[in-house]
Structure 1
Amino acid sequence: MTESYQIFPIGTIHKEGDAARIEIQEAYREAMDGLEGFSHITVLYWFNQNDTPEMRGTLMVHPRRDQTNPLTGVFATHSPLRPNLIALTHCRITGIEGNVIHIDEIDAYDQTPVIDIKAYIPIDKLTKETVRVPDWANKPWDRADAKP
């Protein structure tokens, strides 16, 4: 088994006020062909502002930074604190211009490196099955109040 892997950014997240966009490096522009046929994308990005040994060593958190939620392992949460700082989110495409994908919103900081993008394709199997989540995941949560 390989001990480590290299990941290279393919783009950068830009946020200005309410506007959000992903600028894809020109070398990867061709990889965007066909993306205009999709309404949503899955974005994988790097939690670069959490890249310290201490933050990578955090294995338990209160989900959504809410102390009333039970202390939970990071693999059972969407916490930005984790051993490998890979983030995943779904975004609605609002437009594409050249190597720039305009999106409705993203829970990331300005200048965050993007490591991959995938066209979002709903998986019917999940919609037919019963999905189970813990109680804290069903509590209302205002993402606007949470820091990325």
Structure 2
Amino acid sequence: MEQTFTVQTIGTIENDEKGAYIQLLPKFIEGLEGLEGFSHMKVIYWLDGMDLPEMRDILQVASPYKKAPDVLGIFATRAPVRPNLLALSTVRIIEADLKNGRFHVDTIDAEHGSPLLDVKPYTPSEDRVENPEVPYWSEHWPKNVETSAAFNWSEEFNF
């Protein structure tokens, strides 16, 4: 059974030469109560730059990864081509201005102006997997976000 849902934007993502920021709309700021003290959060946003009807029907893509099979299903990638253009990133909070609903974050894989759909606190008891299993073509990738920045990702992608 196919269903359609409506979501509302709760803010925007600012990602430019000044840095990466999460900005909530004023009417949602009170929802941040209790978020202080968390070092990381999960950010859900909309890949609005890919919002073309024909892109939503693509279910397989040429592998973006050099060591993976030549063709992958989109659910085995983090490609922006998807039936639903939801994106999820875990970010480190550098500075939180809860009064104004603004977060300076370390980095986020989002275009400037991307619509923000939700934020959630990162909690190790729910979000961390101690010993995850991955396919052979990605088993040499970094084991955490902290070491990922120093990894030579250019050797992994076909673009």
Give me the TM-score of the superposition, normalised by structure 1.
0.85
Superposed displacement of residue 115, structure 1: 0.4
SS at match of 1:29: helix
Q: Which runs of 5+ in 2 are unaligned?
A: 142-151
| Contact 1:62 1:69 (8 Å CA) reproduced | no
Distance 2:108 2:18 in 1: 10
SS at match of 1:30: helix
| 4+ long deviations beyond 6 Å | none
Does residue 103 of structure 1 match 2:105? yes
SS at match of 1:37: coil
Superposed displacement of residue 68, structure 1: 5.0
Does residue 19 of structure 1 match 2:19? yes
Distance 2:57 2:11 in 1: 27
> Could you report, residue by residue, the CA deviation over 1:89-141 in whole angstroms, capped at 9, with x for unpaired residues?
100000112210110000010000010100000137832xx421112223555
Distance 2:39 2:66 in 1: 36
Residue of structure 2 in register with 1:138 after alignment: 139
Distance 1:105 1:26 in 2: 23
CA 1:100–1:122: 2 relative to 1, 3 Å: same
Residue of structure 2 in register with 1:92 after alignment: 92
Distance 1:27 1:18 in 2: 25
SS at match of 1:118: strand
Distance 1:101 1:27 in 2: 16
Amino acid at match of 2:65: D
| Contact 1:11 1:22 (8 Å CA) reproduced | yes
Q: Which runs of 5+ in 1 are unaligned?
A: none
Does residue 47 of structure 1 match 2:71? no
Give me the TM-score of the superposition, normalised by structure 2.
0.80
Residue of structure 2 in register with 1:126 after alignment: 129
Superposed displacement of residue 6, structure 1: 0.1
Report the aligned-residue RMSD. Answer: 2.3
> Could you report, residue by residue, the CA deviation over 1:21-41 in whole angstroms, capped at 9, with x for unpaired residues?
011000000011121210000
SS at match of 2:124: coil
| Contact 1:50 1:85 (8 Å CA) reproduced | yes
- Corresponding residue pairs, total: 142
> Percent same amino acid at aligned positions?
37
Residue of structure 2 in register with 1:66 after alignment: 65
